Each structure stands twice: as C-alpha cells, then as structure tokens.
Amino acid sequence: MTATAATIDGHGGGETAPVSAYHDSLLRSPLFLGMVMFLGSEIMLFGSFFTIFFYLRFTHHPWPPTGIDVPKKPTGVNTAILISSSFTMHWALVSIKRNRRFGLICGLGLTLLLGLTFLALQIHEYLHLGFTPSNDAFTSGFFSLTGLHGFHVFVGASLLAMALLRSLRGHYSAGQHIGLEVTGLYWHFVDVVWIVLYTVVYLL
C-alpha cells in the first residue's frame, strides 16, 4: 500500500480496490495518474532550464567557449551506467508481478547501486572540471542543468532506498506494488531526461 493511495476513497481502501467501487476507469490507479501528470510538470521544469540554455547557446560563439572542455567520454560511460539501471528497475518490476522476491530485491538493489554510482561519478566530475558556475554563461547552464538532474537522481535514489527497505521487510506482492510502479516510472523519467541532457549539453 502506498502513501497517498490509502485514503483515495476517503475510507482507507488499498490500491487493489478500485479508486471507488462505483467508478469504472481504465486508469491503473490515481497514484499512477498523478505521477504521470507530475512528470508532465517536471518536463516543463526541465523545459525552462533547457530554454535558457538554448537562449545562451544561440547567442554565443564558440560554444562551449574556448578553454572550457567537458569530459564527453567518461560521462558517456556514466550515461551507460544510468541507462542500464532502467533495465534493472524493469527486472525488479517484472519479478514482483510474478511474485519473485529474489528478483525484486536484486533488481532494486542493483538499480540503487547504479544510481549511486552515477551520482558519485558526477560529483567526481564536478570536482575535477576546472571551472565553476560563475565562470560564464556556458558554465552556469552546465552546472544548473546537471545539478537539477543530479537532484532528481538523488530523489529517485531515496525512493529506491525506501522501496528496497520495504521489500526486505516483506512488503509488496504480485497484486500490490503500485508504490514500485510509480518509483519505476520516476526512475525511467530521470534516465530519459539524462539522455536528452547528455546530448544537448555534452555532445552538441
């Protein structure tokens, strides 16, 4: 049972019960719907960051400015790490749908581990870049976009840690895992944003 789905009908029905007994809906659950809409809002938040980044990019030449070099290849490896974590997340979800706890715990654990590795490598990159946010327009945009994304990875990793803790304590079942589904949705979103971000900030 998840945090907010519990009182969806005002009477403490869990997520196995429909939203309300009388409402026939194609939606999986209100929590899932809420997460989808929240991600719409998140896309707009990243959109505002990309917007200012593009404004700056198209008013500057050369871009990035001479003397500033972003580590494309090491970050490429880091990208692969983050993308692979989406697959382990999917493994965890498929496992719980078939009621296999081993797969669930391994999947979640690996996803969390990969996510934390990504974060650690990003922090390492920050410390060895050789420039700071206040250098110029490019570095401002670089740090704010990667920083915003890093914060989202941190939030996602916290959600994963909670899910892992609950899995270890025997929560979730084949019929009751909406909390995992929304966590997974969020995690996939964070991955997809990173692919766009890596392309726009590092490669282009």
Partner 1 sequence: MTTTTATSHDLQHAPSGGGWRRLLLHGGLVRALWMTPLFGAIGFGIVVLIRWGAGWHPILLTEPLVLVAALVAAPLGFLAGIGAFDYWAYYALGYPTRAEDHSGHGAQSWRDYFRVNTDHKVIGIQYLVTTMFFFVAGGLLAMLVRAELAKPGLQYFDEQTYNGLFSVHAALMIFLFIIPAFAGLANYVVPLMLGAADMAFPRLNALSFWLLPIAGIMMLSSFFMPGGAFACGWTGYATLCSQHQPIGAIFFNQGVQWAGASSIMTALNFLVTIITMRAPGLTFWRLPLLVWANFTTSLLVVIATPFIAGSQFFSMFDHVMHTAFFDPVGGGYPLGYQHIFWFYSHPAVYIMMLPGFGIMSEVIAVFSRKPIFGYRLMALSLMAIVVLGFSVWAHHMFVSGMSSWLRVPMMITTLLIAIPTGIKIFSWLATMWEGKLHLRTPMLFALGFLSMFVIGGLSGVMLGAVPIDIHVTDTYFVVAHIHYVLFGGSVFTIYAGVYHWFPKMTGKMYDEGLGKLHFWLTFVFFNATFMPMHWLGMEGMMRRIADYPSKWADLNFIISICAFVLGASTLVFIYNMAHSWWKGAPAPANPWRALTLEWQVTSPPPIFNFDEPPQVVGSPYAYGVPGARHAIVTVHVPPQPEEIPVPVALAQATPTQREAIMSALKHILVVANQTVAGERLIAAVRTRAAADPIRVTVICPQNDPSDTWVIDEAAVEAATRARLDATLAALRGAGIEASGYIVDRDPYTAVLDVVESDPPAEIIISTLPRTRSGWMRRDLVERLRDRTSLPVEHVVVDEPSESTRA
> Which residues are at the interface with partner 1 (CB under 8 A)?
1-4, 6-12, 19-20, 22-23, 25, 27, 30-31, 33-34, 37-38, 40-42, 44-45, 47-49, 51-52, 55-56, 59-60, 65, 133-141, 143-144, 158, 162, 165-166, 168-169, 171
**Cβ neighbours around 100 below 10 Å, total:** 16
Which residue in 92, 95, 81 sits closest to 191, CA to CA?
A: 81
Q: At its nearest, how many Å lie between partner 1 and the CB of residue 102?
A: 19
Q: Which is nearer to partner 1, 73 or 128 (CB)?
A: 128
> CA 66 to CA 132: how far, in whole Å?
15
Q: At its nearest, how many Å lie between partner 1 and the CB of residue 196?
A: 16
Burial class (CB in 10 A: 0-12, 13-18, 19+), 145: buried
Q: At its nearest, how many Å lie between partner 1 and the CB of residue 27?
A: 6
Q: How far is CA 74 from CA 40, 118, 121, 124, 153, in A?
A: 30, 11, 9, 11, 18
Six-digit token string for 156: 């996602």
Q: At its nearest, how many Å lie between partner 1 and the CB of residue 73?
A: 26
**Contact (CB, 8 A) for 8 and 30:** yes
Q: Which is nearer to partner 1, 84 or 140 (CB)?
A: 140
Q: Which is nearer to partner 1, 99 or 132 (CB)?
A: 132
Residue 138 has φ and ψ, to the nearest 5°, of -65, -50
Q: Which is nearer to partner 1, 28 or 77 (CB)?
A: 28
> CA 27 to CA 37: how far, in whole Å?
13
Q: At its nearest, how many Å lie between partner 1 and the CB of residue 121?
A: 19
Question: How long, in residues, is the chain?
Answer: 204
Six-digit token string for 187: 């995690």
Q: At its nearest, how many Å lie between partner 1 and the CB of residue 176?
A: 10
Q: Which is nearer to partner 1, 6 or 81 (CB)?
A: 6
Q: Which is nearer to partner 1, 3 or 196 (CB)?
A: 3
> CA 202 to CA 64: how far, in whole Å?
9
